Amino acid sequence: MIAAAIDLILERGTNHTTLSAIGERAGYSRGLATYRFGSKAGLFEEVVNTIQRRWVGYLNTAVGEQTGAAALSAAADAYYRFVTDAPKDIRVLHILYYGGASPNGELRGISKQAFARQIADAERWITDGIADGSVRDDISPRTAATQYVAHIAGITYIWLLNPSQLDFADIHREFIRTLSEQLAP
């Protein structure tokens, strides 16, 4: 059902995806999607949670027990791998996240929390990095962490909007390079 929802969101966008169509695409009746998820917003929330769980899996295996600059690089790499492995997931996640920028939007809270968590993670890695000497000590962990997350989010957005306009691999490589350059003590 979630898979059907992902496909339909990619084909038609959220507005033109109907609960009936999702149910029927998954081989059920028109009413099942509403029945299971309560509402369209509920279904989208479930889709976001499902994809987020997959992403956290990628992140955890990649970062492991690393800290400091190594953790930041590993996370950026994991993200790059996730984007190339599961482009559908990342597309849908961003469609739903960004739609959540709308006030009162049902997903705003989840989206907000996800970004807050990512920034907090990055901040922790940087702080640890300063402590163990792998990151220079004259930067603000909070500001740098925000820049880090913002940069990835922005690049992803532009890439999603127009994949051909931007060589994701190239940008990614350059990002990793300037990242370690800026953080190096």
Partner DNA sequence: CGCCTACTTGCTTGTTGACAACAAGTATTT
Partner DNA sequence: AAATACTTGTTGTCAACAAGCAAGTAGGCG
Q: From the list 3, 13, 29, 84, which residue makes contact with a copy of itself (rule: CB under 8 A)?
A: 13
13 touches DNA by CB under 7 A: no
CB of 53 to DNA, least distance (A): 20
95-117: burial string, b at 16+ Cβ within 10 Å, e else: bbbebbeeeebbbeebbeebeee
40 touches DNA by CB under 7 A: yes
Q: From the list 140, 169, 184, 185, which residue makes contact with a copy of itself (rule: CB under 8 A)?
A: 140
CB of 98 to a copy of itself, least distance (A): 3
Measured from the Cβ of residue 12, the count of other Cβ atoms closer than 10 Å reads 12
The Cα 93–Cα 5 span in angstroms is: 12
45, 47, 50, 52 alpha-carbon torsion, rounded to 10°: -70
Choices 38-46, 117-125, 134-142, 165-173 (CB under 7 A): range interacting with DNA = 38-46
Q: How far is CA 70 from CA 10, 66, 100, 133, in A?
A: 34, 6, 31, 12
Q: From the list 69, 83, 95, 179, which residue makes contact with a copy of itself (rule: CB under 8 A)?
A: 95
Quote the DSSP letter at residue 177.
H
Q: Which residues bind a copy of itself (CB under 8 A)?
A: 9-16, 91, 94-95, 98-105, 108, 111-112, 115-116, 119, 140, 143, 146-147, 149-155, 157-158, 160-162, 165-166, 170-171, 174-175, 178, 182
